[in-house]
Structures are given as structure tokens and as C-alpha cells.
Structure 1
Amino acid sequence: MLGKRKRDVEPQVVDTRSVGEKTSHIANKLVRAREYAKLKTKKKKAKRTERARREKETLKAEELGLEPPPKRVPKTLENTRELDGTVVQAEDDEIEADEAQDEYAGYFESTVAPKVLLTTCYKPTKLMYRFLAEMLETLPCAYYYKRQGFALKKIVKYASNRGFTDIMVFNQRGKELDGLLMIHLPDGPTAHFRLSNLILGEDIKGHGRATTHKPELVLNNFGTRLGRRVGRMFASLFSQDPAFRGRRVVTFHNQRDFVFFRHHRYIFEEKEKKQPGKKEKETKVESRLQELGPRFTLKLMSLQHGTFDSKSGEFEWVHKPQMDTSRRKFFL
């Protein structure tokens, strides 16, 4: 006699919809809100239970001397980035050969010293002068020249004849600074950035004052060919032999194609702390950062071959609105 046939086990279907999607079909607003709150509470309770279970497994593995279970990595726009062919791999011989012969090679070989000319739009405001005063403290190799109605092409020629290596032109719209034009001399390239979120050092709580020491430079997350080119452009503004005694650090941090500018001093302090199980306090050296300012954000809008030419200039890269179709696609 044949035995009873076992029923086929149906696979469980996991509902991946959000709480809002699960309740959007309810027409009554009060009922929908009540059901939403109920599902939200249930979801939070399930997350707490799952977290407690993982912590218990980790502690048990440590007691037994086993390898703990891998930590869950949350999905972000950075680690789910859409990679393209311009991302530079480590120790790329082709990239290294190109950079050894580009416009900035002399800076990294310490054969060319940076000398930067700072200027503004035609009618700068008081805010612009306060900002320039802080930028002159940030860049020890920078010199300010009043615009005086001169065209940019004349300024480029003037600066080239006097040994300047870069020009930085800060623009403003109304009472807000909104742009930066960087021109590398004598043959370019020229980069145009949108400037936003400016906060002067004097407006930062607990800020310090910069010294005359040459700062260290930190460049983060410039991973594509375009990003490395822009990063080298920033690096050419600073000396390659920083004075570590000054403990000053200038940072250009790229995140999602927004370049965050920060200026800090790191400080070492001796503090006495009481250790558990001991009566006497132990002296430990702790480090912290003190922001000097200014702070602002840059967004690359275009990169042009040669020096500034608004009519017949050839562009290496231009940001266009149709390029922003995906939030997970970055160019720097």
C-alpha cells in the first residue's frame, strides 16, 4: 500500500513593500493613520528583536573563540555606485605615465613653487573682502589684486608675465558668493565651480586663527580620471613641503561630486583620567581638531582646455542637467 503523498511546501513570499505602500490603499484617513502606526510599531519591534539576536550570536562566538558573524553593511549611494570605465585602479601605469607629463608634474617634483593670484568680480561686497582675508591666511602663497574693471584675459596675461602659477576668481550674485573660477598658468586648464554653503571662520563656534605655517593637504575620494585631474589642480595651490610644526590641515573631501573645503588645526592635550580599579589617575595625551575656517562647498560645472575663453574655448568636461538621471552615478 502506497503511503500518503506529502504536500509540496510552498516557498514563503517576502513582502518588500514599505509601510506607506502597505497602507496607501486605505481610503479613510483615520483608519489609514491607525494602521500605519500599528505596522510601524511592529516593524520597529522586529528590528529590535533581530538586532538583539545578532548581538547574542556575536557574544556567543567571542566566548567560544569563534569568528563572529559578518556585520551587516547598510546600503548607501556610495557603496551602490554605478561604476564606469573612468574609475582609476590602484597602480595604473597608464595614468601614472600621463600624470608624470601633465601640467602639474612640476609641483609634485618640487621644481615649481605655487604662486596664486586672488581676485574678484567687478563689484565685491564687504562679505567678499572678509572671505578673501581668511583665504589669504589659508593660502600662504596667495596674493590679492583688486579687479579694477580689467577683463579676465588681461589678468591672465598680467599674471603669466609676473610668474604666477594660478588665478582664483571669486564671483558673487547679490550678497552671496556663488562661484569660483580657477585658471592654471600659463596654458590651463580652467575649472569653473559653483560655490555654496559659505561659513566664515569668525562665524564658527570655537574657531581658531591660522598661523603662517604651510598647511598639510588632504584630498579624499577623487577616484576617476576627471576627479584625479581636479584633485591635482587643488594640490597645485599648496606647497609640497608643509610645516608640520604649525599643525594646520586643509581638506578637500569629495562626496557625491560635492567637494567640501575645511581648514583645521589639530591639538594635543594632556588629560588626567581615572582608570577602573585604580585609585591614581593616569595622564593621557588626547588629540582633537579645531576648525579655523572658512568652510564652503564646491560643485564642478566645467573644465576647459587652456586659459579662460568664453567664446572659442574647448571644454574637456561640462556638467549638463541630463547627466543627473541617476543618483548613484558620480563623475569625480
Structure 2
Amino acid sequence: MGYKRKRGDGEGEEMEAEDRGRPSFNGTEKRNVILPSMIKNKDKRSKVYAKQKHEKKLEKQKKIKARDAAEKRALELGEEPPQKMIPRTIENTRESDETICRPDDEELFAEIDADEFNPVLRREITPKVLITTCRFNSTRGPAFISELLSVIPNSHYQKRGTYDLKKIVEYATKKDFTSLIVVHTRRREPDALLIIGLPNGPTAHFKLSNLVLRKDIKNHGNPTSHEPELVLNNFTTRLGNRVGRFFQSLFPQEPNFRGRRVVTFHNQRDFIFFRHHRYIFETKESKQSGTKGKESVVGEKVKARLQECGPRFTLKLVTLQHGTFDTKGGEFEWVHKPEMDTSRRRFFL
């Protein structure tokens, strides 16, 4: 039995929690752990929690200083520094996938040489993109399309009207367009993108979310007409490689680096984040303190930073279909189904 004294409001509970760490009458040592949840008084509980949090922070700082000192000591002695601890994340603990691309995969390179995007990516054909909407457009739809036109070079907008999508595909093919993008809206908000490769497909349906237009981005920049540099991150599987080449076929393969424009498609946990930036190089004076009796030396230092141009949105692949758009007789390469989401560490791109 632990000794318990009655105090003011909430102090009895604290004394009881403190007594749990004292030795009992039979000589056995009790657990010396005081959890904030053991204390019913709110003020006392918050104080104990703040104290434990501060102690954990100090302990973490000590470990960081000890690790830095060990690395410095190893470098001075010419030895290998201790191996850095890699934190466990959902990405680096993903389930093993047989379709992950390998550098020596000859079958993959054979498929790439024979796919539909090869003429554009080999610069045999200049990409030409047609952008249209669904039949029921929204208020934010035209603003989003105008920003897409500024992002994708050699892109054109055509009103949908009452035309069927198959008729639009036929029209775009006759006019030598290489891709067709259809912006779908729901409740006055763009919520999906349908990208069709012309003339032989494929057709990709993406769910669109988290759309932020250029005017809503703080300190945004205005893009120029230069052809942008394209960055594709983390498309590691065969399906991801195919989707990445699909995005790549929308842009010319000769970026104009003088324009300093960068378009990024970053895949993380099968969510594709789209960003549009421009580089800004600034020259700043850097002062260096000189020796005694001498003035400080002033030099110039060039610093680079990124300025976001927008728009900003997130895509998630829903279906990938062979050929052009066909809801009835089309053959699907890949379809996302709810039963696929059984594990948080299973990814497809």
C-alpha cells in the first residue's frame, strides 16, 4: 500500500501518483513513472506534461551534440563517421513491387521504344495540345484553363458546346493535335482531368483536388512564353513510368533554360503534385570582417530562389485506358478499385 494524504483540490491525486514511485512496505520497488493522465487536476497535469516535454527536448539535444562530436572526431582521425540513422517513413517501408523499373530491364526499354509517346519524345513530332471543358462549365473552370494555356506551350482552347467527346477526338486528330485535355467540373469547381493521347491513345482519367489558382498564391510570379524545363519525380514502377511519359508528351523536349521556368510532377504515395516555378537569381553584398586595423572586405554573392507561378493542384490516377476515349468497348490497362487500398504501404506509381 502506498501512503496517501489528503490535500487541497487535486493534490491528493498528485501525492498518490508520487507515492507510486516509492518503495512499498515489503521492500519491492514500484514503477517510477508519473503519467500526466494519472493526475486529475488540470493545472498540475499541464505542469507535469510541460516538464516531461522539456526533459525529452534536452535529451534529444544531448544526443544530437554527441552524434555531431562523434562525426567530428572521426573526421579528424581519418576514420569513417558513424552511420546516420534513417527515419522510417511510409515511402521507404513500402511493400515490395515486382513492377519497379530496373536500369538493366531490357523488356522495359523495348516497350518504351514501341509505345505511343515515342514520336513526340524523340522530337519527330512537335506536341500540340487541345484543351476543352465538359458540357456544364463552372466559374473557376475558365480561369483554370487560361492558366493551363500559359503552362503548356503550343496549347489551344476550344469551346465544348454540345459536341460529343468522340466527335471532338475526331476533330482534334484531323487538326494534327497530339493530346486532348478535358477539364471536368462539379459544383462550380474543377474536379477531374481527362487526358487523351492522339491519335492512338491512351486515355488517362485523373481526380483533381486542392486547386489553387495563381491569383490566390502569395507573392506569385508571372510566367513567360519560354518553353519550360520538366521535372518528373518518383515514378518508379512500370505504370508510373508510363504515366510519367504521358505527362512528358504534353511538353516540347527542348526546354529554353533562359526563361528559367520549371514544371514539376512529383509523385508521393500515388498522389501527383503539380507545381510551376521560375528561378530568380539575386546578387547580394556579403561583408567579411578583416584583421585589426583593416576595413571589412565587401564581396558579391549570387543567391538563387524559387518563385511560384501557379496553378497548384493534386492529381490521382483513376483509370488508364487503351486507345482513345470509349466508355462501352474500351479496354482498360489499369483501374483503381477500393479493395486495392488495404495497406497504407502499397503504392502503384
TM-score bin, normalised by smaller chain: 0.7 to 0.9
What letter matches 1:316 in structure 2?
A: E
For 1:321 and 1:33, the matched residues in 2 are separated by 43
Change (3 A) 1:287 1:41: closer
AA aligned opposite 1:110: R
Alignment of structure 1 residues 6-155 onto 2, 5 Å: 29-30=40-41, 40=53, 42-155=55-168
Distance 1:42 1:267, change over 3 A: closer
Does 1:327 pair with 2:344?
yes
Match of 1:298 in 2: 315
**Correspondent of 1:284 among 301, 308, 332:** 301
Match of 1:107, as an amino acid?
V
219-228 or 51-60, which moves further after superposition? 51-60
- Residue 301 of structure 1 aligns with an amino acid whose one-letter code is V
TM-score normalised by length of structure 2: 0.83
Paired letter, 1:329: R
CA distance in 2 between partners of 1:68 and 1:236 (Å)? 45
Q: Provide the rounded CA distance (Å) in 2 between the counterparts of 1:295 and 1:116.
A: 20
- Rounded to whole Å, the distance in 2 between the matches of 1:276 and 1:300 is 56
- Are positions 1:245 and 2:250 aligned together? no
Letter in 1 for 2:191: D
The AA in structure 2 aligned to 1:77 is I
Task: Tell whether 2:302 aligns with 1:313.
Answer: no
Q: Secondary structure at the residue paired with 1:69?
A: coil
Aligned to 1:224: 237
Matched letter for residue 312 of structure 1: G
Which residue of 2 is the match for residue 179 of structure 1? 192
Q: Does 1:169 pair with 2:185? A: no
1:100 partner SS: helix
Query: Is the 8 Å Cα contact of residues 322 and 333 (structure 2) preserved in structure 1?
Result: yes
Provide the rounded CA distance (Å) in 2 between the counterparts of 1:84 and 1:323: 14
Q: Report the Cα distance in structure 1 between the residues aligned to 2:105 and 2:45, rounded to whole angstroms.
A: 56
* Equivalent residue letter for 1:287: A
Match of 2:171 among 143, 158, 182: 158
Closer/same/farther in 2, CA of residues 58 and 209 from structure 1, 3 Å limit: same
* Counterpart residue type for residue 326 of structure 2: D
Measured against aligned partners, the alpha-carbon deviations of 1:152-196 in whole angstroms (never above 9, x if no partner) come to 111111111111111100111102211000011111110000001
Partner-residue secondary structure (3-state), 2:243: helix
Kindly, what percent of the aligned residue pairs are identical?
Answer: 56
For 1:27 and 1:286, how far apart are their aligned partners in 2?
53
Distance (Å, rounded) in 2 between the aligned partners of 1:308 and 1:52: 59
TM-score (norm 1): 0.87
Question: For residue 233 of structure 1, what is the aligned residue in structure 2?
Answer: 246
The CA distance in 2 between the partners of 1:29 and 1:147, in whole Å, is 65
The structure whose Rg is larger is 2
Partner Cα separation in structure 2 for residue 322 and residue 174 of structure 1: 28
- Residue 276 of structure 1 deviates from its aligned partner by 4.3
1:29 Cα offset (Å): 4.8
* Range with greater deviation from structure 2 (58-67 or 259-268): 58-67
Give the length in aligned residue pairs. 311
Hey, what's the Cα distance between the residues in 2 that align with 1:105 and 1:135? 24
Cα deviation 1:101-125 (Å, max 9, x = unaligned): 1101111211011111100111212
Higher mean alpha-carbon deviation, 233-242 vs 41-50, is at: 41-50
Matching residue of 2:287 = 274
**Cα shift at 1:236:** 0.4
Aligned-partner Cα distance in 2 for 1:27–1:69: 40
Q: After alignment, is 184-193 or 90-99 more displaced?
A: 90-99
Write the distance in 2 (CA, Å) between the matches of 1:29 and 1:236: 63
What's the Cα RMSD here?
2.2
Shift of the alpha carbon at 1:41? 5.1
| Deviation, structure 1 residue 207 | 1.2
Instruction: Give the Å deviation of 1:47.
Output: 2.8
- Structure 1 residue ranges without an equivalent (≥5): 1-18
The SS at the match of 2:323 is coil
Report the alpha carbon displacement of residue 63 of structure 1 after superposing the two structures with TM. Answer: 3.2
Q: Structure 2: which 5+ residue stretches go unaligned?
A: 1-32
